[in-house]
Amino acid sequence: MSRLNYQTARFLTSAPTLAQCPLDAGAEVAFAGRSNAGKSSAINAMTQQKALARTSKTPGRTQLINFFSLAGGESQRLVDLPGYGYAKVPEKVKLEWQRHLADYLRNRQSLRGLVLVMDVRHPLSEFDEMMLGWADEQDMAVHILLTKADKLKSGAAKNELQKVRGRLREWEDLVSVQLFSSLKREGVAEAQARLDEWLLGD
Ligand SMILES: Nc1nc2c(ncn2[C@@H]2O[C@H](COP(=O)(O)OP(=O)(O)O)[C@@H](O)[C@H]2O)c(=O)[nH]1
Ligand SMILES: [Mg+2]
């Protein structure tokens, strides 16, 4: 059982830039991932809600930073960062997103950790590496969800997990990795336990 009740997550507000984010107090955890990796589905699975974060077959639409608060208060928040890497977005717009993302990751005081959502079949993309680079700069803890694990046989999924862990061994103090499936609701408790640590400050 998680200590925080993730089911109580409610939409708080959206912000296009760091300057428009809610008051930088309390604690928050941000979810990032390549468009279509399964980030919205992972947030919905973790909060046991069907449509808290929108899931979409036309990825890349959300360019806003979306905030959700837990337990009716504003002191613990989940943050849905804009998906990145959507090919049909013009280069200029992409660079603008990157700037806002970097600004948020570098300057948000209440940010306790980053959940990086990757499709288990295509982990550690160039964009994921960029996020890991920014997190490393800040000594920011990262928890990687290798999602859509249901798309692989169990042995193959475990193999991927070991491969990704191996490649990130250098950062094992800050980075943890797990398998996840929103469809099968696998890995939810493990991910919630990590968020508990961050949001409750232990
Ligand atoms: N099989 C399977 N499909 C998933 C899973 N998570 C997401 N998807 C599908 O992948 C697509 C993109 O998911 P979405 O959550 O919108 O991705 P986002 O763009 O990263 O927010 C949708 O069609 C989802 O139904 C999963 O764990 N298993
Ligand atoms: Mg999404």
Give per-residue pLDDT as tens, 78-127. Answer: 999 987 766 677 888 888 888 888 999 999 999 999 999 999 999 999 88
Q: What is the CA(107)–ligand 1 centre distance, in A?
A: 29
Nearest Cα to Cα of residue 65 among 78, 48, 46: 78
Q: Are 82 and 101 in contact (CB under 8 A)?
A: yes
The finding on whether 33 has its CB within 6 A of some atom of ligand 1 is: yes
Closest C-alpha residue for ligand 1 atom 28: 148
Q: What is the CA(32)–ligand 1 centre distance, in A?
A: 14
Across the chain, mean pLDDT equals 90
The finding on whether 181 has its CB within 6 A of some atom of ligand 1 is: yes
- Quote the pLDDT of residue 202: 67
- Quote the pLDDT of residue 176: 97
- Quote the pLDDT of residue 74: 61
Question: Topology of domain 6-200, per CATH?
Answer: Rossmann fold (3.40.50)
- Quote the pLDDT of residue 143: 98
Between vectors from CA 157 to CA 151 and to CA 159, what angle results, nearest 5°?
Answer: 150
- Quote the pLDDT of residue 89: 73
Closest C-alpha residue for ligand 1 atom 7: 38
Residue 58 pLDDT exceeds 70: no
Nearest Cα to Cα of residue 27 among 90, 106, 105, 110: 110
CA distance 201 to 3: 12
The domain locations on the chain are 6-200
- Quote the pLDDT of residue 33: 93
Nearest Cα to Cα of residue 17 among 131, 136, 102: 102
pLDDT band with cut points at 50, 70 and 90 for residue 72: low
Tens digits of per-residue pLDDT, 141-158? Answer: 999 999 999 999 999 999
Average pLDDT over residues 2-17: 90
Pairing of strands 65-69, 10-15: antiparallel
The finding on whether 56 has its CB within 6 A of some atom of ligand 1 is: yes
Q: 0.85 exceeded by the pTM?
A: yes
Alpha-helical (H) ranges within 16-144 are: 39-47, 91-107, 126-137
In the chain, the N- to C-terminal Cα span, in Å, equals: 16
Closest C-alpha residue for ligand 1 atom 13: 38
Q: Which residues make Cβ contacts (< 8 Å) with residue 80, sequence separation at least 6? A: 30, 31, 39, 40, 43, 53, 62, 65, 66, 67, 68
Nearest Cα to Cα of residue 86 among 24, 37, 141: 37
Ligand 1, atom nearest to 35 Cα: 19
Q: Are 118 and 178 in contact (CB under 8 A)?
A: no
Radius of gyration of the chain (CA): 16
Residue 11 pLDDT exceeds 70: yes
| Partners of 117 in beta bridges | 33, 145
Q: Are 146 and 123 in contact (CB under 8 A)?
A: yes
Ligand 1, atom nearest to 37 Cα: 20
- Mutate which of 34, 35, 39, 55 for ligand 1? The one with the most ligand atoms within 8 Å of its CB, which is 55
